[in-house]
Amino acid sequence: AVVTFYAYGQEFDKELTKAQLAELATEETTYSGLGISPMYTRHKFAFGEAALRIVPYCGETGLVILRSLGGLFTGATGINDIGGPITTISTVSTVVSYGFASVLLLIVLISVNLAVFNLLPVPALDGCRMVFVIIEWIRGKPIDRKIEAAINGIGLVVLIVLMILVDLLKL
């Protein structure tokens, strides 16, 4: 039987055996989010077409990350669905065993994740610096650098504690 998968606005058909279909029927058959699997379909694209596809791919990956972040506040994303440095290292070691193509996908995922989080208006990140620049532009004079440094210092400590707590809560 042929099963159709939808990913990033594209439709992919995969032929499955009866045993594989039976296994799918006993599991949850929908998935929303990002993931890396040892089983994937390889598509060959010319360099130009591949270069044009990477921008929407990264954009959609960024939107999934933002939706997941929003899900933390609405309850749609649980603490077990996120991770800190320990989870990242564990995931990297697992993905390396899947092969080089999966490692490349993980590099894209981590890069987009870092870009999205760095632009959040959280103290100690670049998004907060952009907020300070906008405030300075509106006020017409700079913010006291000692106050800005204190806010960013406190934000950095809070971020480090949250990263450690996320992994500790999963243990």
52-61: long-range contacts (C-beta < 8 A, 24 or more apart)?
A: 56/8, 56/9, 57/8, 57/108, 58/108, 58/112, 60/8, 60/9, 61/34, 61/108, 61/109, 61/112
Picking from 83, 44, 55, the residue whose alpha carbon sits closest to that of residue 171 is 83
pLDDT, residue 120, reads 93
- Could you report the per-residue pLDDT of 128-142, keeping only the tens digit for each? 999 999 999 999 999
- Could you report the per-residue pLDDT of 138-165, keeping only the tens digit for each? 999 999 999 999 999 999 999 999 888 8
* Cα–Cα distance, 6 to 4 (Å, whole number): 7
Give the pTM.
Answer: 0.68
Q: Are 127 and 118 in contact (CB under 8 A)?
A: yes
Amino acid identity of residue 72, one-letter, is: L
